[in-house]
Amino acid sequence: MAKINEIIQQTVTYQLFLMLLKNLREFFETFGEIVSGLLQTLKYLLSMQINIKQLVEQSSRFAVDSLPITLSIVSMTAIILAMQVAPELVKQGGKDYIGLLVALTMVREIGVIMSGFAIISMIGSSQASELATMRVTEQIDAMEVLKVSPFKYLFLPRVLAGAIMMPFIVIISSALGIIAGGLTTMVSAKDVTWLCYISSVWQGLYIRDINIMLLKSACFGACISLISSSFGYSAKGGAKGVGIATTKAVVWSFVAIVIIDCIFAAAFYF
């Protein structure tokens, strides 16, 4: 029996099974840590134990520092979309729907998703590496010894800043994307005037779409900050651990906002 077990343990199927179990265990452990961080953050939020100075600092960092790269990514995406779509719609006699298509695409999906990707790449990775460095250099341990809650001092300002500032970023980037799409349309498609483009923007764009965009962007901002802070908080292993925590934070944030986006699409548009 012992020899049979040894043979089984050497098979590729058994090794793959062990790897699957390990990955599942790590997934549920990580998910549990994120949920635990969320509950701790909500506890201090509901009791209004908010550090205003930290909140203002993190809000400025979240919005102002990330705005240039966010605007660049969203506007370039809108330009590419207009260049490819506008000439084809003009050929099919649909020049009156170019603005509508660009606006709906920007407001419902591209503006929010691309802004989220930009925020993850710049702010999320920064938050994860910052907290991971504090963990491996025992600064967080010192806070806990002094009875200062890391969730109150580190998590809450970042998560709240993400939820508050992300909608403003998305509004600005989506508006710039619509304008950039219009300017590109006038260049790439004949007989399309600025008035024609702007008039078509409001044909199918409603306040409901904007409200959903704002709610979704707030969820994105809070989720990015929560995941990044959670991975930074649980980092270990020196400089290598900081890199691993930052990488995992970025990957999990990308996956999380795509899942949230799918949930919103199913809930409001399906």
Dump pLDDT digits (tens) for 229-254.
999 888 887 788 888 889 999 999 99
Per-domain boundaries in the chain = 52-268
User: Cα separation of 216 and 228, whole Å?
Assistant: 18
Dump pLDDT digits (tens) for 155-213.
999 999 999 999 999 999 999 999 998 888 888 877 788 888 888 888 878 889 899 99
Provide the whole-model pTM.
0.87
Q: For residue 179, give Cα distances in angstroms to 103, 148, 174, 211.
A: 9, 47, 9, 20
Residue 103: strand, helix, or coil:
helix
Q: Do 191 and 90 meet the contact criterion of CB atoms below 8 Å apart?
A: yes
Q: Do 189 and 96 meet the contact criterion of CB atoms below 8 Å apart?
A: no
User: Range with the lowest mean pLDDT among 21-25, 50-54, 261-265?
Assistant: 21-25
204 DSSP assignment: S
Inter-helix orientation angle 156-188/67-91, to 10°: 30
